Amino acid sequence: MIVRILGEGQFEVSDDSIAELNRLDAELEAALDAEEATFRAALHGLLAAVRAAGTPVADEELDASDVILPFADATADDVRDLLSDEGLIPG
């Protein structure tokens, strides 16, 4: 799966990591209406997990992204705009 973090680039993430990313995605969704610190921690946790589990895709490669995640300084409204029925990460 190719995951794009807006403002950073793309990461190739193995299928083995999807369950953990979905768990973190659910935490982020739950934190959308929580205090700012809880929301920030959930967002940064998801993005850090993608960076840790993924392999950066070279900038010169033009692969379509399967998932688009918000930038690290995104607001709760920015995240809501990217949500689908399956959250940010399908599966």
Place of tokens 């690290």: 72
90 part of a folded domain: no
Task: Please report the pLDDT score of residue 30 as a whole number.
Answer: 95
Task: Please report the pLDDT score of residue 13 as a whole number.
Answer: 96
State pTM to two decimals: 0.93
Which domain does 50 fall in, by range? 2-82
Spatial separation of the C-alpha atoms in residues 8 and 23, rounded to whole Å: 22
29 part of a folded domain: yes
The pair of structure tokens assigned to 77 is 């409204």
Phi, psi of 87 (to 5 degrees): 85, -150
Residue 33's alpha-carbon distances to 13, 38, 44, 53, 80, in angstroms, are 28, 9, 16, 27, 11
Q: What's the length of the chain?
A: 91
Spatial separation of the C-alpha atoms in residues 11 and 5, rounded to whole Å: 8
87 part of a folded domain: no
91 part of a folded domain: no
Please report, in tens digits, the pLDDT of each residue of the chain (91 residues total): 999 999 999 999 999 999 999 999 999 999 999 999 999 999 999 999 999 999 999 988 878 999 999 999 999 999 999 988 888 988 7
19 part of a folded domain: yes
28 part of a folded domain: yes
Domain total of the chain? 1
Comparing CA positions, the residue from 7, 13, 42, 14 lying closest to residue 28 is 42
